[in-house]
C-alpha cells in the first residue's frame, strides 16, 4: 500500500535541508525576523510536525507563506515491512523525482548494562558508484546523491513512528518503551563520503541542540575507503564514529570484491585510518562481511589480525555474515565464525559479530528495492 507522507513541487524549498543559520538567512530574505528559525526548528525536530498549520506560535501570514514556498521532507512511502519479531522495520521511499531509496529501523531492548536503542540505518545516495560485488546496492549503479533533507527525513520518519507508538520488546513487558531515535548509522544505500557535503550538513542538522539534538557520538559514518574524505572527516569538529567497509585482508582479495581498492589500496587506507586516529583519538570500526569460502578461513583471519594489530585498541572488527543477494554469496556457519573471531582475539584485535536482523524482510541495503523493481516488471 502506498502512503503519501507529504506533497510538494520541485520549486519549494525543503526546510529539512537547511541548517539553523541557513534557515535564519532564508527567513531574513523573506523579510521575516531570524528568531522565527528557532521556533520552526523546534516544531520540525522536537514536535516532529509535518504541517505548517500546526506551528501555532507563528503568525498566520508566515504559516501561509511557508505552505506556499516550503516543504517538510517530501517523500512517498511505497512499502513498509516489519520483521516477525518487530525489531526491524524497513521502508521503501520514493523521492520527488521518482528515485527509490531504503531506510531501516533496528530496535534493541536493554541488555545487561546496555540501554535500549533505536537505530536508523540511513541511505545517502540513490544507487552507488562503487560496485562492491556482495552488495545489492552496488549492483544497481549510481543514480544521484541525496540532498541533506532527503537524508534527514529518513530519521524523522521513524522518529514520528516511535513517538506515536513507543516500542516494547516482546517477552520483555517490564522494559522501558523506546519512544525516540537513539542512534543513526549511514550504512544504507550509497557511499556517504562520496556525498560528503550533503552528509555532513545532514549530520549537523540532526546534531543541532536547537533541533533534533542527537549526539555526534551516536552517529556512525561508513565508507568503502575514500582516503581523501577520511582525512577530511578527521578534521571536522563533529565527533562522529567512522566505520570502514574492509571485507578482505589483502589487496588481491579485496580488489576482487571491492573495485575501490584499485584506487586506494590497503596501505593507503590503513595510513588514512592511522591519521584519523591520531587526529581524533577515536576507535575505528572495520566492517567485515563474511563470505563462506571467500574471506572467512583461518588464514584470512590471521592476515586480518596482522593487518589491524598495529592500531591496537583503536581498531574493532564487526564480523557480518553476508545476506543473500543476486551475487550468490552465502554466510559461513557458526563454527567458522567462532574460529575466525578467536584468531582475531589472539592477535589482540577486538571484535564482535552482528546478529542477523530482518532477514525475513530483505533488510540488507538494496534488497527491498530490488524486489520492488522486480515485482513491477
Tell me if 39 is assigned to some domain: yes
pLDDT in tens, 291-319: 999 999 999 999 999 999 999 999 999 99
Asked if the model's pLDDT at residue 1 lies above 50, the reply is no
Of 33, 50, 71, the position where a domain reaches its end is: 71
Angle, helix 334-346 to helix 298-308, in steps of 10 degrees: 30
CB-based contact 210:148 (threshold 8 Å): no
Tell me if 97 is assigned to some domain: no
pLDDT in tens, 276-291: 999 999 999 999 999 9
| Confidence category of residue 9, pLDDT binned at 50, 70, 90 | very low
Of 18, 40, 71, the position where a domain reaches its end is: 71
Question: What does the alpha-carbon distance between residue 374 and residue 44 come to, in Å, rounded to a whole number?
Answer: 36
Q: Residue 348 has which C-alpha cell?
A: 589482540
Tell me if 35 is assigned to some domain: yes
Structural domain count of the chain? 2
What pLDDT does 111 receive? 78
Q: Which one of the listed residues 121, 132, 273, 365 is annotated catalytic? A: 365
Q: Which one of the listed residues 32, 94, 102, 287 is annotated catalytic? A: 102
Tell me if 370 is assigned to some domain: no
The answer to whether residue 365 is catalytic is yes
Q: CA 340, 260, 353: angle at the middle one, nearest 5?
A: 25
pLDDT in tens, 29-65: 999 999 999 999 999 999 999 999 999 999 999 999 9
Tell me if 133 is assigned to some domain: no
What pLDDT does 271 receive? 97
Asked if the model's pLDDT at residue 92 lies above 80, the reply is yes
Of 43, 71, 99, the position where a domain reaches its end is: 71
Query: Judging by beta carbons within 10 Å of its beta carbon (0-12, 13-18, 19+), is residue 240 exposed, middle or buried?
Result: buried
Query: Judging by beta carbons within 10 Å of its beta carbon (0-12, 13-18, 19+), is residue 121 exposed, middle or buried?
Result: buried
CB-based contact 149:95 (threshold 8 Å): no
Q: CATH number, domain at 21?
A: 1.10.150.530
Q: CATH number, domain at 321?
A: 3.20.20.70
- Phi and psi torsions of 311, nearest 5°: -80, -10
Q: Residue 372 has which C-alpha cell?
A: 520492488
Mean per-residue pLDDT of the chain:
90
Q: Residue 357 has which C-alpha cell?
A: 536482523
CB-based contact 121:323 (threshold 8 Å): no
Q: Which domain holds residue 12?
A: 3-71
Amino acid at each position: 500500500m502506498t502512503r503519501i507522507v507529504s506533497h510538494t513541487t520541485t520549486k519549494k524549498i525543503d526546510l529539512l535541508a537547511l541548517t539553523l543559520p541557513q534557515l535564519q538567512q532564508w527567513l531574513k530574505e523573506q523579510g521575516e525576523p531570524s528568531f522565527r528559525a528557532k521556533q520552526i526548528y523546534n516544531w520540525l525536530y522536537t514536535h516532529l510536525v509535518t504541517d505548517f498549520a500546526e506551528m501555532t506560535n507563528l503568525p498566520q501570514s508566515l504559516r501561509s507563506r511557508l505552505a506556499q514556498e516550503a516543504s517538510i521532507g517530501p517523500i512517498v512511502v511505497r512499502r513498509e515491512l516489519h520483521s516477525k519479531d518487530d525489531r526491524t522495520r524497513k521502508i521503501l521511499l520514493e523521492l520527488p523525482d521518482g528515485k527509490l531509496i531504503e531506510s531501516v529501523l533496528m530496535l534493541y531492548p536493554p541488555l545487561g548494562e546496555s540501554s535500549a536503542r533505536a537505530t536508523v540505518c540511513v541511505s545517502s545516495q540513490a544507487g552507488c558508484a562503487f560496485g562492491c560485488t556482495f552488495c545489492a546496492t552496488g549492483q544497481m549503479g549510481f543514480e544521484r546523491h541525496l540532498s541533506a533533507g532527503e537524508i534527514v527525513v529518513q530519521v524523522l520518519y521513524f522518529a514520528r513512528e516511535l513517538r506515536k507508538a513507543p516500542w516494547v520488546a516482546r517477552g520483555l513487558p517490564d522494559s522501558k518503551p523506546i519512544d525516540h531515535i537513539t542512534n543513526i548509522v549511514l550504512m544504507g544505500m550509497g557511499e556517504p563520503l562520496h556525498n560528503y557535503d550533503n552528509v555532513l550538513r545532514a549530520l549537523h542538522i540532526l546534531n543541532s541542540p536547537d533541533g533534533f539534538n542527537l549526539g555526534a557520538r551516536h552517529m556512525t559514518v561508513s565508507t568503502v575507503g575514500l582516503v581523501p574524505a577520511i582525512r577530511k572527516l578527521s578534521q571536522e569538529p563533529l565527533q562522529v564514529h567512522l566505520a570502514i567497509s574492509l571485507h578482505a585482508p589483502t589487496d588481491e582479495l579485496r580488489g576482487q570484491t571491492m573495485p575501490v581498492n584499485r584506487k586506494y589500496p590497503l596501505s593507503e587506507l590503513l595510513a588514512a585510518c592511522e591519521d584519523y586516529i591520531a587526529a581524533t583519538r577515536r576507535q575505528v570500526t572495520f566492517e567485515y562481511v563474511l563470505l563462506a569460502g571467500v574471506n572467512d578461513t583461518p588464514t584470512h583471519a590471521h592476515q586480518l589480525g596482522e593487518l589491524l594489530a598495529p592500531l591496537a585498541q583503536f581498531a574493532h572488527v564487526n564480523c557480518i555474515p553476508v545476506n543473500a543477494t543476486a551475487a550468490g554469496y552465502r554466510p559461513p556457519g557458526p563454527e567458522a565464525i567462532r574460529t575466525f573471531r578467536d584468531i582475531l582475539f589472539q592477535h589482540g584485535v577486538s571484535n564482535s559479530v552482528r546478529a542477523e536482523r530482518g532477514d525475513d524482510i530483505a533488510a540488507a541495503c538494496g534488497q527491498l528495492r530490488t524486489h520492488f523493481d522486480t515485482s513491477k516488471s
